[in-house]
Amino acid sequence: MEETTSTIIMAALSTLTPPQFSDLTHSILSATHHHRRRLAALLSSPTLFSLTLHHLHTLSLPQKTLIVARHLLSSLHLLVATSPPPSTATRQRDLDAALLLLLLCETHNHNPEALDAPFSEWRRNLSNLFTYSLLTLSLAPVGTCPGTVLIPFVETVTRCWRLVSALDCGGGKEVGEVAASAATVVALPSVEVRNGGRECVICKEEMGIGRDVCELPCQHLFHWMCILPWLGKRNTCPCCRFRLPSDDVFGEIQRLWEILVKMGAKE
């Protein structure tokens, strides 16, 4: 699973033009620096570390999955160069919890002895491992952006994907129907029908010439009174199954993942 995930991401990235690739690496670098600063602040503050660890302990398994899924979703939005809907944004406390949870999982996999110590020593042990990791990155040759920025980012996305999938609450699996986001529906354009013979596939009635109808991003047209109830229940085009953005975290993960798969298939 891990190899497949990273392979799909790298295949999608290989289709980017040099300007697109440059913009992506700058965005990834900015996000990476922000996450490292948050993790460094968390590990350097006994109070913040204790509060975040306590927050993690109070979360149920589905809640832990959701905060990691939100973190994964923000990374997928970077990869496909889109902005996340406000409803899927990650709060600072949940971002801290996601970063700490990922660090704990990584430590458990590679340095389990650091977590065998009492809770009172966890912060110091994790801080030492985090500092060593940053030092290793800082010693990498200058100019090797794919190695120092892109590859660790892809590894983090893969780690999030693996964790969300392991917690069995969505990640990468088929999800039920979800409504299109309200912001997306409001922004849909109204166009005038210029050619006769067009049929709204929802009501099966012809769209009269000169009538204003709704145009989806895939360019299929529908009566407004037909498409609005449809998009209130599902975020797919009735004709071609094109997915519109939704406010559901796992639905958005699936939508963006399908975009990455299609990008890689063009290689």
pLDDT band at 135 (very low <50, low <70, confident <90, very high): low
Six token digits for residue 162: 């693996």
**Same domain membership, residue 226 and residue 258:** no
Q: Indicate the number of domains in the chain.
A: 2
Q: Are 220 and 240 in contact (CB under 8 A)?
A: yes
The verdict on 146 and 210 lying in the same domain is no
Q: What is the pLDDT of residues 170-198, one digit of tens each?
A: 444 456 789 999 999 999 999 999 887 78
Residue 44 and residue 68 in one domain: yes
CATH number of domain containing 195: 3.30.40.10
221, β-bridge pairs: 215
Whole-number pLDDT of residue 172? 44
Residues 49 and 168 in one domain: yes
Query: pLDDT per residue over 18-63, tens digit each?
Result: 898 888 988 998 998 899 999 999 999 999 999 999 999 999 998 9
Domain that holds residue 128: 2-175+248-265
Residue 129, classified by CB atoms within 10 Å of its CB into exposed (0-12), middle (13-18) or buried (19+), is middle
Residues 117, 102 share a domain: yes
Task: Tell me the per-residue pLDDT of 237-254, one tens digit each, with 9 for 90 and over.
Answer: 999 999 999 999 998 998
State the Cα–Cα distance between residues 266 and 260, nearest whole angstrom: 10
Q: What is the pLDDT of residue 185?
A: 95
Residue with tokens 């407004």: 224
DSSP string, 90-159: PPHHHHHHHHHHHHHHHHHHH-GGGGSS-HHHHHHHHHHHHHHHHHHHHTSPTT-HIIIIIHHHHHHHHH
Amino acid at 107: T
Q: Which helix (H) or strand (E) holds 182?
A: helix 182-186
The reply to whether 134 and 253 lie within a common domain is yes
- Please tell me whether residues 93 and 48 are part of one structural domain: yes
pTM: 0.83
Q: Which residues pair with 215 in a beta bridge?
A: 221
Shared domain check, 95 and 194: no
Instruction: Give residue-wise pLDDT tens across range 99-119.
Output: 999 999 989 988 899 899 888
Q: For 226-235, what is the mean pLDDT?
A: 95
Both 237 and 260 in a single domain? no
pLDDT at 130 over 80: yes
Q: Measured between alpha carbons, how far is 77 from 252 in angstroms, rounded to an integer?
A: 9
